[in-house]
Amino acid sequence: MTNEQLLQLVKTVSLQDFEKPFPDNARFNGRLRTTGGRYIPKERTIEINPKYLEEIGMDEVIGIIKHELCHYHLHVEGKGYQHRDPEFKELLRKTNSPRFCRPLPSMKKNDTLRYQCISCGHIYSRKRQVNTRRYGCGKCKGRLKKV
């Protein structure tokens, strides 16, 4: 999908779900890492993360577009367009737009380290490495070993 096709999709979604035109710009931004999209008020531009289209699909992208259009239309009308504003929450509910996007499958980390107490056998799962010389079991004060 190109930026022009994305712009046409945003215009279509805006007319269908919001019954308002979208005369401004929308584009893909591959540098977005932690979000599906963003609205830039100064430029009146919507940016979408292309990885969501590749990994999850069109339905998720349309949800992201609807969310960003909520920001856009409220900003243009001079109303509260930030996540904390009640007008924004109400428009999300009316248009059946998602509040958050799902995490990308490629960003999910399943790297958990497992440690076991030598004395009582209790198992600890941690995302970060633990210094077993310095830290011990919280239940019996025994030594830990990496499993």
Distances (CA, A) of 119 to 116, 125, 132, 136: 9, 17, 14, 10
User: End-to-end distance of the chain based on CA atoms, in angstroms?
Assistant: 46
Domain check: are 65 and 128 in the same one? no
Per-residue pLDDT reduced to its tens digit, 82-136 = 999 999 999 999 999 999 998 888 887 667 899 999 999 999 999 899 999 999 9
Domain of 16, CATH number, reads: 3.30.2010.10
**b vs e for 121-130, b when ≥16 Cβ sit within 10 Å of the residue's Cβ?**
eeebeeeeee
Sorted by sequence, the CB contacts under 8 Å of residue 145 that are 6+ apart come out as 115, 116, 118, 132
Whether 66 has a pLDDT exceeding 90, the answer reads yes
pTM of the model: 0.75
Domain check: are 76 and 137 in the same one? no
Whether 34 has a pLDDT exceeding 90, the answer reads no
Percentage of the residues of the chain whose pLDDT score is greater than 70: 99
Per-residue pLDDT reduced to its tens digit, 135-146 = 999 999 999 999
Active site residues: 68
Query: Domain residues for 56?
Result: 3-107
Domain check: are 27 and 81 in the same one? yes
